[in-house]
Structure 1
Amino acid sequence: MTYEFTLADVAYLRDAAEALAEVDRLPLTGASYLTDVAKARARLGERAGAVLETVLLRRKAVTKVDEPHEWLFTDSALQQATPAPVARLRARRFAGRDVHDVTCSVGVDLAALHAGARLAVGSDLDPVRLAMARHNVPDAALVRADALRPVTRGAAVFADPARRDAAGRRRWRASDFRPPLDELADAWPGADFAVKCAPGMDFAQLPWRGEVELVSLDGQVREACLWSGSLATTGRRATVLRTKGPEWTVTDEEPDHCQVAEVGEWLVDPDGAVVRAGLVRQYAARHGLWQLDERIAYLTGDTPPPGIRAFRVLEDGHYSEKELRKRLRAKEIGRLEILVRGLDIDPNTLRPRLKLRGPNEATVVLTRVGRTPMAFVCEAVLGSELASDP
């Protein structure tokens, strides 16, 4: 069970720097947790729960905000919060405008929007989250309001609807979001707006969206953002962010001339944002790659894009478990990464059956070409060994 904050808790926490610092000095690990909780309760009494939960949430928030030790969160708000690099990317399109975050929660997205907007307004129905947002983003204008009942005019709108039910299960249908996406669009007719949503949903069910942008951070797809009105700049976009390294983007306006042919020297697994956005062919055309199969996202070529992790093909052939085991044994492969696409194979089930032995390591890519299952035994090469920017 997570701690349920109250308005009284928020009022206390806003001026509880000493108590928070004292509890933050406790390890709060699995081995010490019960002892640490007892110490906090002896020192803080009924306030111990709020302080302990805040310290733990701040430790988790290091990937979400730049200065987590200054922030107040609830557990569910932190889980849904946008990582800071992604929030800053999105906020760039709102720069210089009046913007209204109509589901501002504790203010993570609002903080990024406020940094570049002419005027930033945040609203939410939850009074506790709104009180936390007043602490986290003190210079923004905040009001308690329903996202489906406009309280501003002329501002660009941002929304991050809840995507989990009461049991914590993810929602995938637009009608199951809170608020539902179509109702949100209907509530703000003519407004330029952006909606953060689940990367795996069916965007075709949302005819009002102008642009679908898939965003990844350090190799993990983080979100989809639906842009409308003048905020939309293309139909589909994939944006790839890296904590260390430049960002890049590919759109559906780029050429998609990409042949299907036999494997080259390298295999390339495009970033998940590129795959989810349906821009594999555009990415291939940009880098002179081609497809093994027009329905499979793996690409191949004689020169991989710089700055990525690519796979030098050592040998390839028809896949059978027996044949793959034989090949790996001949190469003395004891450590194996297994990548699968287009085949019903569970790597965790397959790996022990391969009976790996030896000092060497490799990556095997299992996929299909047409109806033929194929196995490509590869050497993985890190982007730093290739170049810097795709």
Structure 2
Amino acid sequence: MEFIDLKSQYHASKGLIDRRIQEVLDHGQYIMGPEVAELEKRLATYTGARHCITVASGTEALLVALMALGVQAGDEVITSPFTFIATAEVVALLGAVPVFVDVDPRTGNLDPSLVEERITPRTRVVLPVSLYGQPADMHEINTVAERHGLAVVEDAAQSFGATYRGARSCNLSTVGCTSFFPSKPLGCYGDGGALFTNDELLARAMREIRVHGQSRRYVHTRVGVGGRMDTLQCAIVLAKLELFDWELAQRRRAAATYDALLGGRVSLIARPGDRSSALAQYTVLVEDRNAVQQALQAAGIPSVVHYPVPAHLQPAYVHLDPGANCPVAQALCDKVLSLPMGPYLPDEDIRAVCTALLDAVGVRGRAGAVRDDAPTRRAAQA
């Protein structure tokens, strides 16, 4: 069993992907080819944002966003400790200070009620993470930020396609940043990412920063990076967009099956009703996680911990915010376990995962029968 089945995804879109790649090989414009602008237009339309700027990775997107907002050495950026390290990494790379605020125990997302107490005169940005594909409580975060004149950057690396109160992730704040890493809900076959904003001046700044700060060829109006997304990777994302909404629906189908088999028997990450998740991961909370993982492995079932150590306790970061107090994040890091997930995960595999998990955690009874609609799914893929 695959943790994320990228091979089946390729075969479902093989014709589209191969054609798109061949078109790039034929025209030979591997850097800033026509697919780059086409993808940016498609993604902007999808999210509802006025501007989309593709970049070399999700990490690059975060870095470019902070640079465009003028974050400098000594500034502070409030963020979550319960995330992949890139969120804090880009802050530190600019010489700024990541200030860690604890998370909501139900969702693992930044707790808006704790943000204001950590704002200081040096705070410039609030950087919430849409964890596991689900946006944080962006209205409350935006309200606090607006009260203090702060920008909000959504780290939406895992949540492209998700919604919050009817609006799309990546278009919920000053800037949204996403990733097209292969395992993301919308992924390419290497690294890639994108920024989204409704601010014309920010969009111009981000476009210039991604090409070494150029306003036009060999005229460098600001400090920048070599952060362009390759044309080939843009072509692959364009192909995958054709089935993306269907794949999101299949992720919801898989999550609903998991919910039905595990709900009330295993602790789950909550998904509040005012938002939808792109379901980049399906994550449960277990005691004695090492033993559970070993039992799953013995049954041939892969699992991953997202994430075992909070950012504020990582060796390279622990000194940056000595005042961080994040007991909820620490507790979640000890218990979270991500199970196989994806649009091509059949119900019979989910049932096998749930049976093995329930056995491992000592819950009586096995996962019950689930309707197998694989023929319907295969027909939809065709």
Q: Does the alignment reach a TM-score above 0.5?
A: no
| Higher percent of residues as helix | 2
Structure whose CA Rg is larger? 1
Structure with the bigger RCO (C-alpha within 8 Å, sep 6+) is 2
TM-score (norm 2): 0.28
Higher percent of residues as strand:
1
